[in-house]
Amino acid sequence: MFTVKPFKIDVQQTVLDDLNNRLRQTRWPDAPENIGWQYGTDSIFLQSLVTYWQNGYDWRKQEAALNKFPQFTVEIDGVTIHFLHIKSANAHAKPLLLVHGWPDCFYRFHKVIPLLTKDYDLVIPSIPGFGFSGRVAMTDDGSAKVFATLMKDVLGYQTFFAAGGDVGSGIVKSLANLYPENVAAIHLTDVGYPNGTEDWSTMSPAEQAFGQFIQQWWFKEGAYAMLHATKPQTQAYGLNDSPAGLASWIIEKFNTWRTPGGVIEDHFSKDELLTNVMIYWVSQTINSSMRTYAVGSFQQLASSQKVNTPTGVAVFSGDAPTPKEWAERKVNVKRFTVIEKGGHFAALEAPEIWAGEVDTFFKSVK
């Protein structure tokens, strides 16, 4: 028996007052002149963001907007799971589970909710260890089992669709492999990456080029993931203590993984960036979210096995340039689309495009 409880975000004023004090007392490091984002987060941008955070950003407004969506919590296997459940007015609507990644949260999907509720019952959980779920880090398989219980046993959906990106992609692949009788089809924005163990003689030229791209990417951009996978506690002290530090760690990824061109505010507003950071700050889940990498490292998980469930794949220009041949190694590709606008957080950056892709694919599934 599961007890589902209504949930409202209601951050205590003392938490917000403490945040403002910490922002006001930020001790800024030096930065090379005109370095921009080359060494990491642009100090000029971050200082302007912190100034806005103190003087212009309205958390209560954002909190009220999020609370317009029906939210709930339920305990599954001893872990509190927070989720949005938006039921369609369409009696024939299909259940659709949406799973976020890191360093975003359920907020990734808030723009696509009105675009999809005509034909889908949406279930948007916070991954264990993220947001308003319990601060327990789980592997892809562990989260998949929790979400299967949520969909089947708590909400009564015996068959459903699922879509995800980043960490969410791994969880959705695990769901498809562990519960093939329940997961009718899945949609992903990334399918996994070459890790150097592949037999290159069996790989197409496009796959080999992709493998070289990923290798270079890990040298240039992958240090954060190695830290998360090996020493998450080390950086957690600073990130959980300093809101400016937390914003720097998170927002650098939003800048790096967006559609190429322009500046970050061409793609995400300050309010969007800060609301995502705020969810980590008020829930104090940056540490447990990073531990997700550590608990899943060096394990053979269902997410690493090929998925036979029908799969749609959308590759956005700001994300890794996955070739179709590689996707076909990892999943049962039924739709493969390369899209020029959008990046790693496509549902937030390009919601109409992402929602259109997801809708078109799931409606094509027989």
Catalytic residue numbers? 166, 293, 344
The strand pairing partners of 183, in sequence order, are 160
Max Cα–Cα distance, the chain, nearest Å: 60
CA dist., res. 162 & res. 172, Å (int): 6
**Class of residue 366 by CB neighbours under 10 A (exposed 0-12, middle 13-18, buried 19+):** exposed
Contact in structure between 260 and 253 (CB atoms under 8 Å): no
Q: Can you tell me which residue has the tokens 């992958």?
A: 222
Contact in structure between 335 and 364 (CB atoms under 8 Å): yes
The strand pairing partners of 94, in sequence order, are 120
CA-based angle 325:329:335, to the nearest 5? 65
CA dist., res. 271 & res. 264, Å (int): 12
165: left (phi over 0), alpha (psi -120 to 50) or beta: beta
Q: Three-class SS of residue 84?
A: strand
